[in-house]
Structure 1
Amino acid sequence: MHGALLIAGTTSDAGKSVLVAGICRWLARQGVDVAPFKAQNMSNNSVVTTDGGEIGRAQALQAAACGLEPSVAFNPVLLKPESDRTSQVVVHGRVDGSVSALSYRERKPALLEIVTAGLARLRAEHDVVICEGAGSPAEINLRATDIANMGLARAGSLPTIVVGDIDRGGVLAHLFGTVAVLEPADQALVSGFVVNKFRGDPALLEPGLAQLERLTGRPTLGVVPFAPDLWIDAEDSLGHDGTVGRPGAPLGRDWLRVAVVRLPRVSNGTDVDALACEPGVSVRYVTAPSDLVGADLVVLPGSKATVSDLAWLRSTGLADAVLAHARAGRPLLGICGGYQMLARTIDDPHGVEAAPGHHEGLGLGAFDVVFDPDKHLGNPHGTALGEDVAGYEIHHGRELRDPGLPALVRTSDGAAEGLDIGNVLGTHWHGLLENDGFRRRVLARVASLSGRDVTISRTTSFAVTRTAQLDLLADLVEAHLDTAALIRLIEQGAPVGLRIVPPAGAP
């Protein structure tokens, strides 16, 4: 099998990332040499690759579905929002300035050359490449400079499937309208549809799908049911009600309740996914001081805008609630930007994240933070709470520690990192909670400090849980998609002579 395919969506969060992961996993289980590709991602959830760069976390998950290590080749352009109007640009894994929405347009022609060349290399190195679009191809105001949807499809002659989330409502209109607003050369590559997150009797949907095919000339290649056991999400696993994951019942009498502060520019919030794998551990994102009442563990996650998110924390009253929680001896964990907020001061002399200046932290640790112009990236190893651990670092802030400050982590070269003062823990390392032994020790400490009757599982494996989720995605693809049609599209490209759908109101 040789070829490529683009999965586009009617909207952001329609299911593109998980469908790509599922198709990749389904192909890999059949022995196909498959790789993922997303030309341009916009996300503050990222990982450090084995080749030392930075890519979207979704593409790292898709790589795992393929049985591959994450690589900058899978996501050549990453935009990391810094504010409502600006984003940091990461090209081939390295920071390459910041842009506004308007100034980014000027860079698109050069970036299109980068992503098309990258796709060509991947196609030469692997039998199959499954590409993921960005947002929606129906954003016709952006079409002239598009590098991730039909711009990429046209450049690479990629057959394209459009996926829509029926749980949002209006999916048939979304699917039809997506095709109808495209110019004829783009429509010629749109080869079919997938309906995602369907609940109920498929027979009730069938007349609508038949009418959609009559209107567009394109079949629906599958209806993927809503899967309650599927909680993994390639960007984040946050439910609509703020919950993370679907943990099993507690092994002891009590639940452990984890409150994760949903910062405006939260980064790598998926760090807490591993907690949600544990029986009896309830994880929720929160946005108000009252949400911290009764929490056994409060987590301050990473942030792409630490100083402004800290200001938001203060303006909402959450800073006072976090301080009261910690000063009462209750457990608090800060990760990356959330760890930096625990410092006495945060100094950004070069204006990396905000206007140059000196800012007061929460003052819970005897250390200060200074922002360096260059980003610190790494895949470090060490020990923490008596366990061997690995993680990854993505930050500009550098800690300046007072002598004798208790460290959470000892790196493999013996350096001190992070903070451990009993009920308050902090680290720059993402992914620490994915280390099973470390996570169990943290939860045992939380249970002890909170006085909960909790038995910590000795068998939960985050890696095994994630693998099972990827296999569940592949099972959904195999059971509910027309896989023979997928293979034809991959090998033969878009069918010739697909109907051109005129836009509404056209003569």
Structure 2
Amino acid sequence: MSAILVAGTTSDAGKSVIVAGICRALARRGVSVAPFKAQNMSNNSAVCPDGGEIGRAQALQAAACGLDPSVDFNPVLLKPGSDRTSQLVVRGRATGSVNARNYIEHRTHLRQVAAECLTDLRRRFDVVICEGAGSPAEINLRATDVANFGLAEACDLPVYIVGDIDRGGVLAHLYGTHQIVGAGDRARIRGFIINKFRGDQTILDPGLVQLEELTGVPTVGVLPFIDGLWIDAEDSLQSPLGASVGPATPALGTRRLRVAAVRMPRISNATDVEALACEPGVSVVWSADADQIADADLVVLPGTRATVDDLAWLRRTGIAAAVTARVRENRPVLGICGGYQMLCRSITDPVESGSTVPVDGLGVFDTDIVFHPDKTLIRHEGGAYEVHHGRVARSTEQPWIGDEGARRGVIFGTHRHGHLEHDGHRRAFLRDIAAATGRSGFVLAADTSFHAERLRQLDLIADAVEQALDLDGIIGRR
């Protein structure tokens, strides 16, 4: 069946968003459609119903299609643990660590795995919308490419190239991508897509005409900048310091709740805090400032792919001292996954850090964490999930969620991601935080739906895609 590849001139050019929008638009028309990304590099992941792990962006794209996430949608996932090494996840399961050099040795096998998954999806769905990785112009990697023109060649895919005009230089990016790739790859490019355009398009149009004259490739659509858009980030690096999270909706009462989410160097599954931010009157920012963390109503320590190393970073920056001071004053702190592990008494981690010697945690919870080679992958009822190597070896703490995690007053810890996406759980949690911080003027909405807001975001993208692109022409139905 029909399949296309959406590649980008750069990372964060808008591939994930546009693929999600195309998927959503086609699904609304009743088309049987699925997303696909052969190889992803991201620490933001989700757990599928079968227990496998995929990139969070592909889970969002699956939701856009009306599907549960599946390992078939993202067969190869790289999760960076340092600047030089990444955990390799193949068809949802961790298979070890690789560096940039020895990863090349795996690529022939991985390209075969990706091609087999895509071939199977094309049998099961009418349309498959594939997303490239990084930039297809990295000609030094072309011989072993898994996700861009290597996939397009192996599976005979037409390619559309996305450029982000908001970054500047988009015409040069598109032209340069077209010129630097080989002739065979160049022949696969069916069109350019401009993303995040603001202003009067008649000023841009002459440039698009000249671009087509130079390359022979038409610009098939110009998507507008969608103000207020927030969806799951592909890469935690898209969450810069000081950036607000979520829609920043107005407060219903006279007071707001201020949440500081700690932006750790190896942060993972950073999307957990978006559920808090969707509530009216809850302001969430990414922070690495000890004073801001000391002053916030709630501090969130999110997940990380390097718990021991990021704990050392917390101590160097003074954030650890600010967190423990909050604990002494019984002021709210929430630790999720790696952040929860940091709040424990000790961490023994021969898996990520390679050390068999226990490391002192922050000592908030009387709990010991031991890392195991086998990763825990659990999807709970309601969509919450766990993805971690660290396990509770001993604890005297009161559990917080079911028989898992820990709670001591208004200090919370859990291994579960996505727990706060459940509207009832989130509201109960925020009531406790508001009461503990004396925010009597904070009014909690009774009807906020995180999943409805997420669907509304997908519909915003789909509306823009419908207006900008000839979808029937792109998927070969005209």
Report the TM-score, using the length of structure 2 for normalisation: 0.97
Match of residue 38 from structure 1: 37
Determine if contact 1:301/1:335 at 8 Å carries over to the other structure: yes
Match of residue 385 from structure 2: 392
Determine if contact 1:6/1:133 at 8 Å carries over to the other structure: yes
Match of residue 414 from structure 2: 427
Written as runs of structure 1 = structure 2, the 5 A alignment for 1:225-264 is 225-235=224-234, 241-264=242-265
Q: Is 1:372 aligned with 2:372?
A: yes
User: Which residue type is aligned with residue 384 of structure 2?
Assistant: G
Match of residue 298 from structure 1: 299
User: Could you tell me how far apart the structure 2 residues matched to 1:207 and 1:66 are?
Assistant: 36
Deviation at 1:233, TM superposition (A): 3.7
User: Could you tell me how far apart the structure 1 residues matched to 2:353 and 2:307 are?
Assistant: 7
Deviation at 1:442, TM superposition (A): 1.1
Q: Is 1:481 aligned with 2:469?
A: yes
Deviation at 1:457, TM superposition (A): 0.8
User: Could you tell me how far apart the structure 2 residues matched to 1:17 and 1:41 are?
Assistant: 11
Deviation at 1:473, TM superposition (A): 1.0
Determine if contact 1:352/1:373 at 8 Å carries over to the other structure: no
User: Could you tell me how far apart the structure 2 residues matched to 1:441 and 1:145 are?
Assistant: 50
Q: Could you report, residue by residue, the CA deviation over 1:314-341 in whole angstroms, capped at 9, with x for unpaired residues? A: 1111111111122222100000000000
Written as runs of structure 1 = structure 2, the 5 A alignment for 1:6-85 is 6-85=5-84
User: Which residue type is aligned with residue 424 of structure 2?
Assistant: G
User: Could you tell me how far apart the structure 1 residues matched to 2:367 and 2:145 are?
Assistant: 45
User: Could you tell me how far apart the structure 1 residues matched to 2:169 and 2:52 are?
Assistant: 39
Query: Secondary structure at the residue paired with 1:344?
Result: strand
Report the TM-score, using the length of structure 1 for normalisation: 0.91
Deviation at 1:16, TM superposition (A): 0.2
Q: Is 1:189 aligned with 2:194?
A: no
Q: Could you report, residue by residue, the CA deviation over 1:142-175 in whole angstroms, capped at 9, with x for unpaired residues? A: 1111010000001111110000111111000000
User: Could you tell me how far apart the structure 1 residues matched to 2:278 and 2:352 are?
Assistant: 35
User: Could you tell me how far apart the structure 2 residues matched to 1:173 and 1:215 are?
Assistant: 11
Determine if contact 2:43/2:235 at 8 Å carries over to the other structure: no
Pick from 388, 399, 408 the counterpart of residue 407 of structure 1: 399
Q: Is 1:355 aligned with 2:343?
A: no
User: Could you tell me how far apart the structure 2 residues matched to 1:464 and 1:158 are?
Assistant: 34
Match of residue 413 from structure 1: none
Determine if contact 2:294/2:323 at 8 Å carries over to the other structure: no
Deviation at 1:239, TM superposition (A): 5.7
User: Could you tell me how far apart the structure 2 residues matched to 1:439 and 1:359 are?
Assistant: 32
Query: Secondary structure at the residue paired with 2:63?
Result: helix
Written as runs of structure 1 = structure 2, the 5 A alignment for 1:55-454 is 55-235=54-234, 241-348=242-349, 350-381=350-381, 391-403=384-396, 405-410=397-402, 416-452=403-439, 453-454=441-442
Deviation at 1:213, TM superposition (A): 0.8
User: Which residue type is aligned with residue 390 of structure 2?
Assistant: G
User: Which residue type is aligned with residue 45 of structure 1?
Assistant: N
Match of residue 465 from structure 1: 453
Deviation at 1:51, TM superposition (A): 1.4
Deviation at 1:245, TM superposition (A): 1.1
User: Which residue type is aligned with residue 227 of structure 2?
Assistant: P
Deviation at 1:235, TM superposition (A): 2.1
Query: Secondary structure at the residue paired with 1:474?
Result: helix
Q: Which runs of 5 or more structure 1 residues have no equivalent in the other structure?
A: 382-388, 411-415, 493-507
Percent pairwise identity: 59
Deviation at 1:287, TM superposition (A): 1.2
Distance 1:239-1:53 versus aligned 2 partners, 3 A rule: closer
Query: Secondary structure at the residue paired with 2:365?
Result: coil
Query: Secondary structure at the residue paired with 1:417?
Result: coil
Deviation at 1:296, TM superposition (A): 0.5
- Figure out how many residues of one structure are paired with residues of the other and give that number: 475
User: Which residue type is aligned with residue 298 of structure 2?
Assistant: L
Deviation at 1:141, TM superposition (A): 1.2
Deviation at 1:290, TM superposition (A): 2.2
Deviation at 1:236, TM superposition (A): 6.0
Q: Which runs of 5 or more structure 2 residues have no equivalent in the other structure?
A: none
Query: Secondary structure at the residue paired with 2:312?
Result: helix
